[in-house]
Amino acid sequence: MSNPDLDRWNARFDVPDHVFGEAPNSFLARHAAGLSPGRALCVADGEGRNGVWLAQQGWDVLSLDFSAVAQQKAAALAARRGVALTLEQGDVHGWPYPAAAFDLVADIFSQFSPPAERARKWAGLRRTLRPGGHLIVEGYTPRQLVHRTGGPSAAENLYTEPMLRDAFGGLEILVLHEREEVLDEGAGHSGMSALIGLVARKPD
């Protein structure tokens, strides 16, 4: 059965360059750098810039995305960097998220999810974290609708501090802040941006 969202993402990724660059998301790199490597899940990892960087830091990474075109580019990037990356093609809204399976879950710019699907996805992220494991989320706030330098145009898909605090209140919230910053993460995320980042730890 055809999936217009998937067709749109595959077409977007069907270009020689990495749409979101080859360097990792800066918030993820800053906050994952101090963690001890273990098993990591990169949700909607696309062309693999984040999963590949984590693999370079010693993490055993599962890179989940529904776009085969993006995953071919992720595999090529991993090969160029000489690291192993496990790719799984799947829909983040229906993925089983096995319980207590990952030491790190990275959810970077997956703001395609409308509220009901986002709630299911985030319930999966909470479930699949191991006790003591960390969750790192980066996204845009509603102020991004002023900048329009990347991200969704649907206001309901954007994140706020109360939304993240409410969704991940069962975790220990280590970092949660909104900021305005110039992003230079490929043509897809470029320019002054209204961002929000969360780092949280699942209690032991």
Ligand X SMILES: C[S@@+](CC[C@H](N)C(=O)[O-])C[C@H]1O[C@@H](n2cnc3c(N)ncnc32)[C@H](O)[C@@H]1O
Does residue number 44 form part of the binding site for ligand X (CB under 6 A)?
A: yes
Q: How far apart are CA 3 and CA 30, in angstroms?
A: 35
Question: Among residues 52, 108, 136, 158, which is the contact residue for ligand X, using CB under 6 A?
Answer: 108
When the beta carbons of 35 and 69 are compared against ligand X, the nearer one is: 69
When the beta carbons of 68 and 169 are compared against ligand X, the nearer one is: 68
Question: Among residues 46, 124, 133, 197, which is the contact residue for ligand X, using CB under 6 A?
Answer: 46
Does residue number 67 form part of the binding site for ligand X (CB under 6 A)?
A: yes
Does residue number 144 form part of the binding site for ligand X (CB under 6 A)?
A: no
When the beta carbons of 109 and 168 are compared against ligand X, the nearer one is: 109
Question: Among residues 74, 104, 110, 139, which is the contact residue for ligand X, using CB under 6 A?
Answer: 110
Task: Tell me how far, at minimum, the Cβ of 131 lies from ligand X, in Å.
Answer: 25
Query: How far, CA to CA in Å, does 151 sit from each of 36, 77, 193?
Result: 30, 23, 9
Do residues 98 and 69 touch, judged by C-beta distance below 8 A? no
Query: How far, CA to CA in Å, does 122 sit from each of 38, 111, 115, 149, 189?
Result: 21, 12, 10, 25, 23
Residues 6+ apart with CB under 8 A from 41: 61, 62, 64, 101, 102, 104, 105, 106, 128
Does residue number 97 form part of the binding site for ligand X (CB under 6 A)?
A: no
Q: How far apart are CA 139 and CA 188, in angstroms?
A: 13
User: Interface with ligand X by CB under 6 A: which range of 54-62, 89-97, 160-168, 172-180?
Assistant: 89-97
Do residues 71 and 48 touch, judged by C-beta distance below 8 A? yes
Task: Give the helix/strand (H/E) hosting 125.
Answer: helix 115-128
> By CB under 6 A, how many residues form the interface with ligand X?
20
Does residue number 168 form part of the binding site for ligand X (CB under 6 A)?
A: no
Q: Under the rule (CB under 6 A), what is the footprint of ligand X?
A: 5, 9, 20, 25, 44-46, 49-50, 65-67, 70, 91-93, 108-110, 112
